[in-house]
Amino acid sequence: MPIPFLVASGIAPDIIIRKYLRDSNGGIDMNVLGRNRPPVEFTHTVPDGSELLLLGITFILIDKKVDPNKFGDIDILDNGVTFEFRDGSGATIIDLTDGVSIKRNADFVMIDSGVFSRLDGNANSLLSTSWKASGDSEPIILQPLSQIVMGVRDDLRKVELFRAIVKGRLVPL
């Protein structure tokens, strides 16, 4: 449920959102049987009539062991996971990994503004990383119908859990 938020006195309110990246069926779990071409894509689309002031994206990866040289606890991926922003026509406007896919846990450093990893009581490991727009430059404003896209290009079914959630302010135009 969006949370109404007043930016400043006299300015129209915008809405704080927290939205999972979802596949074409609405699923949020990215531990799927991916494929190289075309990848299985998980997206969030900015609604028509609004802009998204992107605050960040948080990634959660849980598996038996989070080894820097594996993806979760599976071997290094052959093709990897892609992460990009697209405009309303589907053209890539920002490739957040600069053409180098995320193939192992250590690769999350490419997009990270803070990687956290720990071992829990069930002998599972947790990797949590966040990409924050404010850590790199001015906030990123995504136009209506722009998309945030992660593409899964390998078999991730053996990973316990892999998800991503977008945080931002939805500003009506």
pLDDT tens column, 53-74: 988 888 888 888 878 888 988 9
Q: Looking at the domain assignment, is residue 135 inside a domain?
A: yes
Q: Whole-number mean pLDDT of the chain?
A: 83
Q: How confident is the model at residue 7 (pLDDT cuts 50, 70, 90)?
A: very low
Would the pLDDT of 113 be above 80?
A: no
Mean pLDDT of 89-106: 90
Both tokens of 91, joined, read 């053209």
Q: Looking at the domain assignment, is residue 30 inside a domain?
A: yes
Query: How many domains are contained in the chain?
Result: 1
Mean pLDDT of 111-139: 61
Q: How confident is the model at residue 124 (pLDDT cuts 50, 70, 90)?
A: low
Would the pLDDT of 159 be above 80?
A: yes
Q: Looking at the domain assignment, is residue 7 inside a domain?
A: no
Per-residue model confidence (pLDDT) at position 97: 84
The boundaries of the domain holding residue 73 are: 17-172
Higher pLDDT, 100 or 118: 100
Q: How confident is the model at residue 25 (pLDDT cuts 50, 70, 90)?
A: very high
Inter-CA distances, 94 with 2, 14, 54, 97, 146, Å: 26, 24, 13, 9, 11
Q: Looking at the domain assignment, is residue 112 inside a domain?
A: yes
Q: Looking at the domain assignment, is residue 1 inside a domain?
A: no
Would the pLDDT of 39 be above 60?
A: yes
Torsion of CA 153, 154, 155, 159, to 10 degrees: -100
Q: Looking at the domain assignment, is residue 67 inside a domain?
A: yes
**Residue 88 falls in which region: left (phi positive, over 0), alpha (psi -120 to 50) or beta:** alpha
Q: Looking at the domain assignment, is residue 50 inside a domain?
A: yes
**Residue 64 belongs to domain with CATH number:** 2.60.120
Q: Looking at the domain assignment, is residue 106 inside a domain?
A: yes
pLDDT > 70: percent of the chain:
79
Per-residue model confidence (pLDDT) at position 72: 87
